Amino acid sequence: MIKAGIVGGTGYTGVELMRCLSRHPEADLVAVTSRTEQGKPVSGIFPSLRGVVDLTFSDPESGALSHCDVVFFATPSGTAMHQAPSLLEAGVKVIDLSADYRLRDKEVWEHWYDLKHASPDYLSEAVYGLPEVNRTEIAGARLVANPGCYPTVIQLGFLPLLEKDLVQTDSLIADAKSGVSGAGRNTSLATQFCETGESFSAYSADGHRHLPEIKQGLGSLSHGEIELVFVPHLLPIIRGIHATLYARLKEPGVDLHGLFTRRYESEHFVDVLPPGVHPDTASVCGSNTCRISVFQPQGGSTAVILAVEDNLVKGAAGQALQNMNIMYGLDEVTGLTQSALWP
């Protein structure tokens, strides 16, 4: 059994990790840490895990994590970069769900996260954990940077077009909307129900922290310089991301549906829908699936890609387990075969 630990188990990503790990047949969750809730039973904070996770929150400094095979960081950005190096040197594999190791350029990271990076030497070692692109590298990694929720769905949506050099890379547009759980489990006024219910708004239109991550990923696939307009929005729902992506085709007459179907036909967690079908966030709620549709309105020069995912699963915890499975040579679907919740 793989002995797993979680740093930061009191957030939405942390509880989703516990839910996913609890049904994984090859993993045993042995430690969950929280500075604020240490000593309290997990089920006391999350009643949904009563009878499922029989652990108490422990102090991150207790030493329990060093006895794990793999540790997941479900913490805000700026935490893993301090604690991950000692675990790595102790022989523990690390999957970081924060942004601490996603960007290769230290200066770019420090600009967008307004912090000094505490362990920049590991930036070049960290493998970006998008399995549909970096499966081979993930298999041999000891440090995986789990992609962000917006970057996952946007990269999967643009990927087939960029790989085949079919679109103009200087005019990409990502219009993406997320449920409020993407903001984390905090007391921010902006994410309280009375503020978000019956409302819809954009935010960070002048630059979101996920922008450099998305451009870095798309740039590695592209045959030209990436220029991307990315505008995130807040939806009055709990879970889910819906991304509408626009790209100008270089030539007409491309079989877009065939292109996407062929690219993802062997990917269990990417579902290309039949022509004319529009994906919705409810169809992926609670699952590790990204569903995609592709259109070419009026047969024109613009490709429109619609992509949806659960921001807490394929956009976070589920993808982290998918990466763990790859790192340990397991079938990628192990522990992740549950269908979406409906209704």
Retrieve residue 114's tokens: 């307004």
| Distance in angstroms (rounded) separating the CA atoms of residues 147 and 156 | 11
Sequence length of the chain is 343
Residue with tokens 């709990």: 238
Handedness of CA 31, 3, 62, 109 (dihedral sign): negative
Helices (H), the chain: 12-22, 42-45, 80-89, 106-113, 131-139, 149-163, 193-196, 211-221, 256-264, 318-327
Place of tokens 């990502």: 174
Q: Give the closest residue to 73 by CA, choosing from 24, 181, 145, 132.
A: 145
Q: How far apart are CA 219 and CA 169, in angstroms?
A: 9
Is 149 an annotated catalytic residue? yes
Residue of 20, 68, 149, 290 marked active site: 149
Q: Which DSSP letter does residue 39 get?
A: T
Determine the Cα–Cα distance for residues 16 and 338; give it in Å rounded to an integer. 13
How far is residue 22 from each of residues 4, 15, 54, 239, measured CA to CA in Å?
11, 10, 10, 20
Structure-token pair, residue 149? 């929720």
Contact between 35 and 61 (Cβ < 8 Å): no
Written as one letter, the residue type at 190 is A
Residues labelled catalytic: 149
